Structure 1
Amino acid sequence: MERLLQVNDLEVTFQTYAGEVKAVRGVNFHLNKGETLAIVGESGSGKSVTSQTIMRLIPMPPGKITNGQIIFNGQDLVQKTDKEMEHIRGKDIGMIFQDPMTSLNPTMKVGQQIMEVLIKHQNMSKASAKDRAIELLKLVGIPMAEKRVNQYPHEFSGGMRQRVMIAIALASNPKLLIADEPTTALDVTIQAQILELMKELQKKMGTSIIFITHDLGVVANVADRVAVMYAGQIVEMGTVDEIFYNPKHPYTWGLLASMPSLDHDTKEELAAIPGSPPDLTNPPKGDAFAPRNPYAMKIDFEQEPPMFRVSDTHYAKTWLLHPDAPKVEPPESVKRRMRQLATSYAKPVLAKDGE
């Protein structure tokens, strides 16, 4: 498959009163055309900083790209000026943010906010841009689009506002769409509708998607591949099936086990990952997950593990995959939970629009 995006050894730091925070530490991944990659991890794992760095949206200073390349469509975005990035953002790369109420301008009609993108990046006339804005609102499932194009954000429900954000992001037919936790503020029913909408739009438009989330259950029915992030690094990457059915990193085990089961008959307690993520002003020596890892070995506290190859598409950053390491399987309770979750989230029940 043809690659649209290649991130190589990306490192991002922030200067704070407490010192330099190493927010992203040597991140590598790629995205193929027409593919959806989910980046998953706890708050503070570096997933949103990574996505915003691709868009060159991190404030500089205090943020700084200290190393790496972001090769998009054959160009290194790290080397682009702010002026050059203005022509790429919105036109070639679109972004959907977590909270549409803070992302949309409350003083502008939603139609005007879509039209702005079309006029700037597509050189449309106002009349043509308004017609296209109505088409986009219909495309993302907003009824009575001819009327609602003239309404303000506060006149829309949370789910409908997120649909407007998707319409704005898709206005210029971007090659890449970055969705930064786009369903976090929505209830489960509306969340399912938005996820299904994004899948349908991707099929129609062929857009590549990076989906940022802390919820592995969300990605099961959306992503082609998953990158699991912890402490500013990718610790496991594989296809959705590999991550759900054959996870190799203890952190991935913990994320899967800590998700609630949809089986009403289960009496299992919800698992939790003990401890807290490390302080990235002073990243720990060795494996950053070692203090929270019940399977940690002496080497985990002394030497950072490399990415071990499990298959052509599956890699994990854990010493447990070393040939000399003891053979450790996830506990049976974790295996059982993984099977339940994989089954439960594979086919979510979608309600019809009726917000």
Structure 2
Amino acid sequence: MKNILEVQDLTISFHTFAGEVQAIRGVNFELKKGETLAIVGESGSGKSVTTKSIMRLLPKSNSEIKAGSQILFEGKNLAELSDKEMEKIRGKEISMIFQDPMTSLNPTMKIGKQIAEPLIKHQKVSKQQAKERALELLKLVGLPQPEKRINQYPHQFSGGQRQRIVIAVALACNPKILIADEPTTALDVTIQAQILDLMKNLQKKIDTSIIFITHDLGVVANVADRVAVMYGGKIIEVGTVDEIFYNPQHPYTWGLISSMPSLDTMDENLYAIPGTPPDLLNPPKGDAFAVRNEYAMNIDLLEEPPMFKVSDTHYAATWLLHPDAPKVDPPVAVKRRQNKFPEMNSVKGGK
């Protein structure tokens, strides 16, 4: 499949009173046409900053996309476009669903008008045509009684219904890329499942590519084709969803998987990754995860690991994959998964 988006050496800093926060440090990934890429990691790992930089929504007052960063969308480097040029792309070709639907919608505007707005701006259709399309979109996202509810205000809807409306707004112009920034976090488990099913079905219908941001690995298993794991402003492991779930290689990914509840762990205490994420005012010299990593070696504190190849689709930045590294058994929860799917296991890869 062809890449619709390529992010190369993305480096972003925030200038604060305390100093320069190096929030994103040389991030690389690609998004293929029609696929769903999940970006996972703890709060503060850089997930939302990365995707907001694609939309160019970072505050100009204190953020800086460093020279050399490339966000290539269909050959255009979004990092170098003017505000006027980005306005033609944002909402039309790349759309975003935010975490809290109540703050994403204008409380003073009827929802029909909010869905119609991007259609009038980007597709230059009449108000009547935009209203008809808004009605179609409300039906598409499964909102009950759309003919009646199109004239209602956001406060008249439940949280799950508001998220459906936000999705309708994002899909109004049939974007080529849809960025979903933790779209189910504020919803209860039942509504979460409905929204995830809705997004999967809509993706098939409109053939869009999705970047799905989450800290919940359980969500990832249901929606993603590939997974990128972020830590300390870097992508530290990337692979297909099966590779990340059943053959993870980075100790941080081991920790994330071990902290997931499952039927196998009902009688066990859930694992918690010790310590806290690194201070990106003064990023560590070696592997950012080293001080929290029980498998860390001396080299982890001194030198940053490169991306080692595990398979053609699976890469991980950990010195444990170096040919000279000692063999280390992953935690019980990870080993249990590997034993269920032994065909996913592979030998150590080269650099």
TM-score range, shorter chain: over 0.9
What whole-Å deviation, never above 9, does each CA across 1:230-259 have from its counterpart, x for those lacking one? Answer: 000000000000000000000000001111
Matching residue's letter, 2:79 = V
SS at match of 1:5: strand
User: How much has 1:44 moved relative to structure 2?
Assistant: 0.2
What whole-Å deviation, never above 9, does each CA across 1:295-320 have from its counterpart, x for those lacking one? Answer: 00000000000000000100000000
Matching residue's letter, 2:148 = K
Residue 323 of structure 1 is matched in structure 2 by 323
Is 1:15 equivalent to 2:15 in the alignment? yes
User: How much has 1:337 moved relative to structure 2?
Assistant: 6.6
SS at match of 1:11: strand
Counterparts of 1:33 and 1:331 in 2: how far apart (Å)? Answer: 35
Counterparts of 1:338 and 1:177 in 2: how far apart (Å)? Answer: 32
User: How much has 1:333 moved relative to structure 2?
Assistant: 4.0
Is 1:179 equivalent to 2:193 in the alignment? no
How does 1:184-263 map onto structure 2 within 5 Å? Answer: 184-262=185-263
Counterparts of 1:210 and 1:301 in 2: how far apart (Å)? Answer: 32
SS at match of 1:221: helix
Counterparts of 1:75 and 1:230 in 2: how far apart (Å)? Answer: 27
User: How much has 1:338 moved relative to structure 2?
Assistant: 7.4
How does 1:334-345 map onto structure 2 within 5 Å? Answer: 334-336=334-336
Residue 279 of structure 2 is matched in structure 1 by 279
SS at match of 2:99: coil
Counterparts of 1:126 and 1:24 in 2: how far apart (Å)? Answer: 42
User: How much has 1:335 moved relative to structure 2?
Assistant: 2.4
Residue 34 of structure 1 is matched in structure 2 by 34
Counterparts of 2:29 and 2:332 in 1: how far apart (Å)? Answer: 31
Residue 311 of structure 1 is matched in structure 2 by 311
Is 1:47 equivalent to 2:79 in the alignment? no
How does 1:55-134 map onto structure 2 within 5 Å? Answer: 55-67=55-67, 68-134=69-135
User: How much has 1:17 moved relative to structure 2?
Assistant: 1.2
User: How much has 1:175 moved relative to structure 2?
Assistant: 0.3
Counterparts of 1:339 and 1:91 in 2: how far apart (Å)? Answer: 45
Counterparts of 1:30 and 1:218 in 2: how far apart (Å)? Answer: 21
Counterparts of 1:182 and 1:260 in 2: how far apart (Å)? Answer: 21
What whole-Å deviation, never above 9, does each CA across 1:129-168 have from its counterpart, x for those lacking one? Answer: 1011000000000011011100000111000000000000
Residue 302 of structure 2 is matched in structure 1 by 302
CA contact (8 A) 1:248 1:316 kept: yes
CA contact (8 A) 1:38 1:227 kept: yes
Counterparts of 2:278 and 2:207 in 1: how far apart (Å)? Answer: 38
Matching residue's letter, 1:175 = K
User: How much has 1:260 moved relative to structure 2?
Assistant: 1.9
User: How much has 1:339 moved relative to structure 2?
Assistant: 7.4
CA contact (8 A) 2:116 2:130 kept: yes
Counterparts of 2:201 and 2:321 in 1: how far apart (Å)? Answer: 38
CA contact (8 A) 1:140 1:167 kept: yes
Any gaps of 5 or more consecutive residues in structure 2?
341-351
What whole-Å deviation, never above 9, does each CA across 1:175-222 have from its counterpart, x for those lacking one? Answer: 000000000000011000000000000001100000000011101010
Any gaps of 5 or more consecutive residues in structure 1?
341-355
User: How much has 1:261 moved relative to structure 2?
Assistant: 2.0
Matching residue's letter, 1:95 = M
Summarize the Cα distance change of 1:84–1:300 in structure 2 as closer, same or farther, 3 Å threshold. Answer: same
Counterparts of 1:127 and 1:88 in 2: how far apart (Å)? Answer: 24
CA contact (8 A) 1:257 1:337 kept: no
CA contact (8 A) 1:47 1:212 kept: yes
CA contact (8 A) 2:254 2:331 kept: no
User: How much has 1:74 moved relative to structure 2?
Assistant: 1.3
What whole-Å deviation, never above 9, does each CA across 1:97-140 have from its counterpart, x for those lacking one? Answer: 00000110000000000010110011110111101100000000
User: How much has 1:38 moved relative to structure 2?
Assistant: 0.2
Q: TM-score, normalised by structure 1?
A: 0.94
Residue 345 of structure 1 is matched in structure 2 by none
Counterparts of 1:36 and 1:85 in 2: how far apart (Å)? Answer: 23
Summarize the Cα distance change of 1:18–1:308 in structure 2 as closer, same or farther, 3 Å threshold. Answer: same
Counterparts of 2:188 and 2:180 in 1: how far apart (Å)? Answer: 17
How does 1:132-147 map onto structure 2 within 5 Å? Answer: 132-147=133-148
User: How much has 1:331 moved relative to structure 2?
Assistant: 2.3
CA contact (8 A) 1:25 1:233 kept: yes
Give the number of aligned pairs.
Answer: 340
Residue 353 of structure 1 is matched in structure 2 by none
Q: TM-score, normalised by structure 2?
A: 0.95
Counterparts of 1:100 and 1:333 in 2: how far apart (Å)? Answer: 35
SS at match of 2:268: coil
Matching residue's letter, 2:47 = K
CA contact (8 A) 2:93 2:174 kept: yes
CA contact (8 A) 2:246 2:334 kept: no
Counterparts of 2:266 and 2:32 in 1: how far apart (Å)? Answer: 39
SS at match of 1:28: strand
Counterparts of 1:82 and 1:260 in 2: how far apart (Å)? Answer: 44
